Structure 1
Amino acid sequence: MSTPIATPDTEQDLHLSAAPLEPWQVVVWNDPVNLMSYVVRVFRTYFGYSQERATQLMLAVHHEGHAIVATGPRETMEVHAQAMHDYGLWATVRRAPR
């Protein structure tokens, strides 16, 4: 004798909503290994930044110790951080301040 399969109550009204998308940031940190010109080239190649913007970000990394190079959904920022690691840069992902 088999047990009957339970069926969901289709009359029940479900209120499902996705969690709000919170912005996350990719932070690239200064290191003693990579040349400034290489960091500019990585920012231009990977993110498509102009020479001027890539240079500004590289100088922030150099002088301030870090720079926020991208902001967006967490999963995308994790992909970007991994790409920075693949280029040999030190990068982390953090939640953007509200």
Structure 2
Amino acid sequence: MSSTAGSTLTREEADLSEQQRAAANRPYQVVVWNDPVNLMSYVAWVFRSYFGHSKEKAKKLMLQVHHEGRAVVATGPREQAERDVTAMHNYGLQATVEEAE
């Protein structure tokens, strides 16, 4: 007799469900990209206003975007990262979601 007696899930379904849970728990990061449109002061203001970063951290991230072309401004669950990216787009910033390493 199998150890899944009484269970309605097949082994494959259980494995898939476990993979889905693992994917849902994986951290994702919000990356803001440099653009030629927005002022640096505005970008720092967005980071402070939306993410609640301190003035110093917002400036550091803004300078990273400016000099390196991108910065990770937040990390968390995929759904939150997607909401954050949408918010960045609404502020006129270019942003994407990436799996955290």
| Range into which the TM-score falls when normalised by the shorter chain | 0.7 to 0.9
Q: Which residue of 2 aligns with 1:12?
A: 6
TM-score by length of 2: 0.80
Taking only aligned residues, the RMSD between alpha carbons, in angstroms, comes to: 1.5
Report the identity percentage.
Answer: 61
The unaligned stretches of length 5 or more in structure 2 are none
Q: Please give the per-residue CA displacement for 1:49-82, whole angstroms capped at 9, x wherever unaligned.
A: 0000000000000000000000010010000000
Q: Find 1:23's aligned residue among 27, 44, 49.
A: 27
Q: CA deviation at 1:19?
A: 1.3
Count of aligned pairs between the two proteins: 87
Give the AA of the match of 1:29: W
Tell me the SS of whatever aligns to 2:21.
Answer: coil
Give the AA of the match of 2:64: A
More helix as a share of residues: 2
The unaligned stretches of length 5 or more in structure 1 are 1-10
Larger radius of gyration: 1
Give the AA of the match of 1:12: G
Q: Which residue of 2 aligns with 1:79?
A: 83
Question: Which runs of at least 4 in structure 1 moved beyond 6 Å after TM superposition?
Answer: none
Q: Distance in 2 between matches of 1:32 and 1:49?
A: 23
